[in-house]
Amino acid sequence: MNKIPMNMPGLVQRYIETNGIRIRIAEMGKGPLVLLIHGWPELWYSWRHQIVALAAAGYHVVAPDMRGYGGTDAPEAVSDYDIEHLSKDIVGILDVLEEETAVLVGHDWGSVVNWTTALLYPDRFTALVNMSVPYYSRGEMSVIDLFKSQFGDNFYYILYFQEPSLAENEFDANPRGILSRLYTSPETPREVPELTDPKMSAGGMIPRLGAPKVLPPWLSQRDLDYYVSEFEQAGFRGGINYYRNFHRNWEITPQLTNAQFKQPTLFIAGAEDAVIGGATADGLVKFMKSAVPDLRDVVLFPKIGHWVQQEAPEETNKALLKFLDWVK
């Protein structure tokens, strides 16, 4: 294991086996179980501030490296990253820990996984907190078909990720290049992108993103070095395979059409997060309310971007703890 940059007394990292793979988990604290599920391209370490705060508040906090990331196994087959495998990984963590239920918290792809996992296994999760990615009810066509109709021959990263080997070969050759360009804040000053041709055929993703002139205030050089070292070892293929299952996930979950969540739910995002596209809290409530009838709150932090729990850790922790106290 690479040395953790942040001093986290009481943190334990260990490996568990479930659902046919070995998963690295980071855990701290005693009490009701809270699972923290990271997104792309992240690690358990993306929750470093929440792990400490939640453990101090009396919770048993567990943050895994998800399938394909960090110290967790990365199976070869693309289909091994579909939503059935990912949701069973999460439920399997509960089983290994001998816990009947948990509160499920996610960010980015972690939110995507958590939304579906909470629907597939409603009795295992007592409450739900998702960040950055709101719930999209299952539509009449998969998002991949939708994106193809929208973008055509133009570059869009999710469509780029569908091409075999392209994205992981680019990112594996320059982990620092892609991570430093993604881990930024809305106000981070950038160099002019090297590639401005909108066509997919013109090139990959890294040159389309202007290099940051400085690190954002929430990310130290040691933090970035840790992320880079972990992705140098694990590679990017596993995380990109999540995107390659968008269409398959739509095909294998027809039972989730018009599904409703039974869990009390909190949604958190940065107001400047491109994923929510400038949506207001009221707009997000209206968008999700029919599928998430017990949506307790939507919290948007001004001037904060996509990496909300790292960009605004104190505000995120306050909202999390308020919600957890609410649903006890």
Q: Would you call 306 a catalytic residue per the annotation? A: yes
Of 38, 60, 107, 306, the active-site residue reads: 306
Of 65, 73, 108, 273, the active-site residue reads: 108
- Kindly state the DSSP code that residue 4 receives in the 8-state scheme: P
Q: Which two tokens stand for residue 254?
A: 């027809």
The CA distance from 143 to 289, in Å, is 21
Strands 21-28, 265-270: pairing kind: unpaired
- Kindly state the DSSP code that residue 140 receives in the 8-state scheme: S
**Residue 327 bridge partners (DSSP):** none
Residue 153 neighbours by CB under 8 Å, 6+ apart? 199, 200, 201
- Kindly state the DSSP code that residue 14 receives in the 8-state scheme: E
The CA distance from 148 to 293, in Å, is 32
Q: Would you call 297 a catalytic residue per the annotation? A: no
Exposed (0-12), middle (13-18) or buried (19+): which is 96, by Cβ within 10 Å?
middle
Yes or no: say if 295 and 289 are a contact pair by the CB < 8 Å rule.
Answer: yes
Residues with catalytic roles: 108, 306
